[in-house]
Amino acid sequence: MAASSEPRRRRYERRIPQRPITLTTGRIRLLRFVADIGLITLPQLARVSSLPPRAVRRQMRYLFDAGLVDLHPVGRCALADPSLPNDQTLLFGSAPNLYSLSDAGARTLREVGDEQATAPNSRFGPRNTQFLLHLVQLHDVRIWLMRTGSVHRKLELWHEGKDAWFDLQRSRPPLRCCPDAWFIYRLNGRVLVGLVEVDRGTEKGGLRWKQKLDSYQILFTGDRIKEKTGYAHARVLVLTPDARRRASLAQFIAKEAPAGLAARFWLAERSVLQRPDLGAALWQRPGNPELLPLLPPELLLGAEGAPGT
């Protein structure tokens, strides 16, 4: 069989389509996911769209060549799972494709009715890879919440980064409480407000977490939660790299935080995100080694009940 004369496509170089752009419903849907999440990997797109990764890759290549999304050059080490060995194997290979909306993509979405669509201001690449892993892991949490949705429950609101910070209105430290994100999840007429902490387990000692607990204590004893979210109660959801870190951090919070504050924390290892189930008994509360569901089964089934706060 004769070899194809068509040159191999370079991963980060666009190949301008020879025919006019055809934006199918499926392609617009993928474009909207990219716009909504902000920065998203190909595996994340496959999960949130419920499409096979190969199909997503093919459609995203079309959107990239058409100039509607940007593809960011990132090495394998930047997004590698922290559980992998820290050895020479991380020097080879590449990370999953990492996409964001381009200016042209934002214009296209606005033309079809998404008036708020905008491209990110930041340019992502090899020089800011330390930040990327944390951001991708945070977006794993958001996509997990999106995947747990149904007719009667959904992720209604999500804020991350500086938009998620709470000004404590103080003249001395701590001045702010800075979760990685906060969200509102509505289900069966009830609301769960969650503050998200993606813990990488890289900090030695407990100084950083002690500072966090101090800021959370001030946050929960004032009115700032209700002023910013519209609700008076919230949980702090902490995602840890593994079960050992989950247990040790739960023990630390139980020891260092007042009982009322410690009761607001729910911890789980990151593998919980592989299963879009709010009722799985995979969450630990400080002072209790038993693993519990994040929400009671009767609430998820539509019965009356409240997600304890």
Which of 232, 249, 251 has the alpha carbon at shortest distance from 241?
Answer: 249
Q: Which pLDDT score, from 0 to 100, does residue 253 have? A: 97
- What are the domain boundaries of the chain? 9-125, 148-309
Q: Rounded distance, CA 289 to CA 237, Å? A: 16
Whether 87 has a pLDDT exceeding 90, the answer reads no
Instruction: State pLDDT tens for residues 165-200.
Output: 999 999 999 999 999 999 999 988 899 999 999 998
Q: What was the pLDDT predicted at 309?
A: 45
| Cα dihedral 68, 73, 77, 78 sign | negative
Q: Tens of pLDDT along 115-136?
A: 888 888 777 766 666 688 899 9
Predicted TM-score (pTM) of the model is: 0.89
Flag whether pLDDT at 205 surpasses 90: no
The token pair that represents 245 in the structure block: 């870190």
93 burial class (0-12, 13-18, 19+ CB within 10 angstroms)?
exposed
Distances (CA, A) of 163 to 82, 166, 264: 27, 8, 21
pLDDT given at position 305? 41
Q: Specify the DSSP class assigned to residue 221.
A: T
pLDDT of amino acid 303 = 40
Q: Specify the pLDDT at position 120.
A: 85
Statement: 9-125 belongs to CATH 3.90.78.10: no
Structure tokens at 175: 């001045």
